[in-house]
Amino acid sequence: MKTSPILRASVLPLSVLIGAVSLVVLIRGHNQPGGGFIGGLLAASALALYGAVVGPAETRARLPLRPQTLVALGLACVTAAAALPLLLGDALLEGQWWFTLPIVGKISSVLLFDTGVYLVVLGTVMVILLALLEEKD
């Protein structure tokens, strides 16, 4: 299937923009609606758009880590966020507040948990999408 030159030229900036929005949703979402799940879906949609236009091989080549590695890192973040309060004498998954950044807000174990969810969702959706794109080729 021949891809439109306009779509090929615009897919990278659009994917980067959607990816940036996904990070904003991740960072702001631990104190407001949004967070890791929605941010991960947005990031996966950016990569899905890119993959649909350029193909699975080029998409895999652009990924810094394999999707399975993202899932493993995400599970490690979630486990760390869950276990950290236990090590500090608090209840399982109790939020630990560390410090505040001017634009971002409070940095805490909640953000670590959301980051883990983000990575698990992104990695899982990418495994599925890349398999579907490769099957199509």
Q: How far is the C-alpha of 66 from the C-alpha of 64, rounded, in Å? A: 7
* Residue 108 token pair: 């805490």
Alpha-carbon distance 34 to 43, whole Å?
Answer: 13
Determine the residue type at 60: R
pLDDT by 10s per residue, the chain, length 137: 578 889 999 999 999 999 999 999 998 876 666 689 999 999 999 999 999 999 999 999 999 999 999 999 999 999 998 888 888 888 887 777 777 878 767 777 888 899 999 999 999 999 999 999 998 76
- From 137, 117, 119, 116, select the one nearest 55 (Cα to Cα): 137
At residue 108, the pLDDT reads: 78
